[in-house]
């Protein structure tokens, strides 16, 4: 698929992907990416799907690799267009934007974009995941924490609709923690 994942020098690999991301985004507004065409190249579609599916284990096992995976998935979307799974790439790229680069507004905007992409493709699995990450990791950078409740509810209900119990459960767990 032409995707190389590093086994060392993660910071260097991430810096390269972030530079590519800035170049691929160009002067487009993040919100305008909702109008990007659908990816038509089967290998690029599969690449995004594979990267989205390996990002959860990477998140728990090797955060440095996780960030590279997320940036690679986003770069494919920025170059070739969107598919439903682009939502997960965008929302997790929002984490990179805020947590690593300190660009909290861009992180928030990528979260908003992710939810809209999941809705555009009518994909409740992706909406569940996008809403969870948006509410739990991006929303509080720009808005009061109280505004996360509705987004968590959207995540929970979208997941229940399609049997996506993992992220639905995470949404409930986050809501309970936010009550404190």
Strand residues in 32-153 grouped as ranges (E)? none
Tell me how crowded residue 16 is: count the other CB atoms within 10 A of its CB. 16
pLDDT for 2: 82
pLDDT tens, position by position, 88-119? 999 999 999 999 999 999 999 999 999 999 99
How far is Cα 116 from Cα 169, in angstroms, rounded to an integer?
A: 22
pLDDT tens, position by position, 27-52? 999 999 999 999 999 999 999 999 99
């Amino acid at each position: 698929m032409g995707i190389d994942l590093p086994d060392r020098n993660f910071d260097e690999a991430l810096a390269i992907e972030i530079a590519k991301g800035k170049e691929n985004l160009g002067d487009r507004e993040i919100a305008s990416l909702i109008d990007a065409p659908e990816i038509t190249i089967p290998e690029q579609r599969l690449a995004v799907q594979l990267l989205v599916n390996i990002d959860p284990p990477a998140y728990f096992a090797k955060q440095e690799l996780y960030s590279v995976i997320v940036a690679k998935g986003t770069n494919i979307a920025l170059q070739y267009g969107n598919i439903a799974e682009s939502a997960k790439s965008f929302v997790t790229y929002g984490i990179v934007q805020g947590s690593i680069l300190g660009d909290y507004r861009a992180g928030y905007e990528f979260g908003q974009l992710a939810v809209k992409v999941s809705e555009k493709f009518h994909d409740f699995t992706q909406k569940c995941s996008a809403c969870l990450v948006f509410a739990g990791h991006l929303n509080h950078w720009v808005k009061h924490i109280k505004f996360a409740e509705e987004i968590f509810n959207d995540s929970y209900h979208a997941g229940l609709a399609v049997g996506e119990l993992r992220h639905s459960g995470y949404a409930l767990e986050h809501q309970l923690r936010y009550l404190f």
